[in-house]
């Protein structure tokens, strides 16, 4: 069966996005600029209205949000993502969020350990 033109276009966009992410990870740009651009590119792969990334260890964490958030929203995200990081590290039990959620939360793994938590949200549900 032949792929549709749309499938080919989607595949090309995915490949292009992943290639740009790979280039960014090796670039000389500042860490913050690289991370923000990678999160912007993530929207092409996993569409979202809001994206948050918490990286680092307990006292040395850094929160990135797209779009930029208010101080109170940042504090709420920092707290919930810190809690999720502890869950993912095996320090707490995971509770089911039910079926069909507009929030997707994933661990960020580097050097064989969890180094952060990524959360993307949108109005409709993720499959």
DSSP 58-81: GGG-EEEEES---HHHHHHHHHHH
**C-alpha–C-alpha distance, residues 86 and 115, integer Å:** 11
Across the chain, mean pLDDT equals 84
Please state the pTM of the whole predicted model. 0.79
From residue 71, give the alpha-carbon distance in Å to each of 11, 75, 77, 122. Answer: 38, 6, 10, 21
Given a cut of 60, is residue 110 above it in pLDDT?
yes
Q: What is the pLDDT of residues 40-92, one digit of tens each?
A: 999 989 889 999 999 986 678 899 999 999 999 999 999 999 888 888 877 66
Residue 100 DSSP symbol: S
Given a cut of 70, is residue 125 above it in pLDDT?
yes
Q: Which residues are CB-neighbours of 1 under 8 A, at least 6 positions away? A: none
* CA nearest to 56, candidates 1, 104, 113: 113
């Amino acid at each position: 069966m032949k792929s549709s033109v749309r499938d080919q276009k989607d595949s090309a966009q995915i490949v292009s996005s992943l290639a740009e992410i790979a280039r960014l990870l090796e670039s000389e740009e500042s860490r913050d600029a690289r991370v923000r651009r990678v999160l912007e590119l993530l929207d092409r792969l996993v569409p979202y209205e809001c994206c948050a990334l918490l990286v680092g260890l307990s006292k040395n964490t850094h929160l990135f949000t797209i779009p930029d958030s208010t101080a109170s929203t940042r504090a709420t995200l920092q707290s919930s993502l810190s809690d999720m990081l502890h869950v993912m590290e095996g320090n707490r039990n995971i509770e089911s969020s039910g079926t069909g959620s507009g929030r997707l939360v994933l661990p960020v793994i580097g050097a064989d350990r969890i180094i952060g938590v990524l959360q993307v949200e949108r109005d409709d549900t993720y499959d």
